[in-house]
Amino acid sequence: MATQTLSQTVMGAMRTQGVRRAVPAAAALQASMRSHQPCQLAPQRPAVARQARQLAVKATAAASQGGLPIDLRGKKAFIAGVADDQGFGWAIAKCLAEAGAEISLGVWVPALGIFDKSYRSGKFDASRKLSDGSLMEFSKIYPMDAVFDTPDDVPEDVSGLEGPGVSCDKGYAAVKANKRYAGNSGYTVSETAEKVKAELGSVDILVHSLANGPEVQKPLLETSRKGYLAALSASAYSLISMVQRFGPLMSQGGSVISLTYIAADKVIPGYGGGMSSAKAALESDTRVLAYECGRKYGVRVNTISAGPLGSRAAKAIGFIDDMINYSHENAPVQKELGAIEVGQVAAFLLSPLASAVTGQTIYVDNGLSIMGLAGDSKTLDRHAS
């Protein structure tokens, strides 16, 4: 018998596993290279957007074509922060489902009713469809508010409700007395982790897709102490709280990811209310948690700095369309970012293929983060009057 190369041996083993669904890696890259067009300095936007959609379809279709698949069969994932079928959290869930993972969600309590209704009524069915024609299923859907660590943190009688547990001008949200929380219990981080332990036993994958800044539209100079601390609580400390409670449930070799933004280390005017500080804290905490969780649990921790996406949650910032346009004009790759592209990178980071990657901020933004000069700046127009 001829001696096989290491590559042949590994690829043969993968083919014999009979992976039903997998997120593509090498196959997706090959598909992308085959469809590559010569670089244009100023491509027509509809054509570029259409090409981006075609690449995403090819990447998904490549899941069943062998290559270097991501196999997450038998793995249990808990994703906190999915509220609809448009954002990064949903895209991550879908890519993990493509790879065979069992998905459970933690949904912000006031959004749970409409999410559950849309899910069960079939409103999300088109978005749930996987590459093999089946629909993505969720093993469990838990009510969760990540600004509350324990039941003692939940206020009894306060007014206002503007975001995940916090309000712009009226203090903490009315929770126990608020009708949007009525009929739900056990939604603090510690209680959610306890329910996951009782019902699922363990988790292999933990996804933090949470952020809220009640004063995000205010400049930092005008941000109140309450608004600033609320942004850090909901957007940064919530990761620490989740890892504290879910870490003991995670299997060795497990992985945690969160979502950050370039405002952590670059100035983005308009992204205020302490949210830039919260993202900076999130990235710093990612590095420290990577060390502590790696030593204590054998678990990796990374964060993805995603480019602008016109999701429902991002609309709260007020200028997301401008950021999408700016990114399109100035990023090295001139196309709109697709949520599925972030989902695919997340699937890689959460898989054994990334077993040596931890404590990193991974940019998925068409390369915008490397730019030091805006190519569309009027100051560069030598013919301007």
The residues assigned a catalytic role are 261, 271
Pairing status of strand 250-260 against strand 203-208: parallel
Q: Are strands 250-260 and 300-306 parallel, antiparallel or unpaired?
A: parallel
Cβ–Cβ contacts within 10 Å for residue 109, how many? Answer: 24
Among the listed residues 116, 284, 93, 304, the one whose alpha carbon sits nearest the alpha carbon of residue 205: 93
Q: CA-CA distance, 209 to 235, in Å (whole number)?
A: 9
CA distances from 225 to 20, 154, 361 (A): 51, 20, 28
**What span, in angstroms and rounded, lies between the C-alpha atoms of 73 and 90?**
19
> In whole angstroms, what is the distance from residue 167 CA to residue 177 CA?
15
CB atoms within 10 A of CB 348: 18
273: DSSP letter: T
User: Which among 313, 309, 314, 366 is positioned nearest to 335, based on CA atoms?
Assistant: 366
DSSP structure class, residue 220:
G
3-class DSSP assignment, residue 219: coil
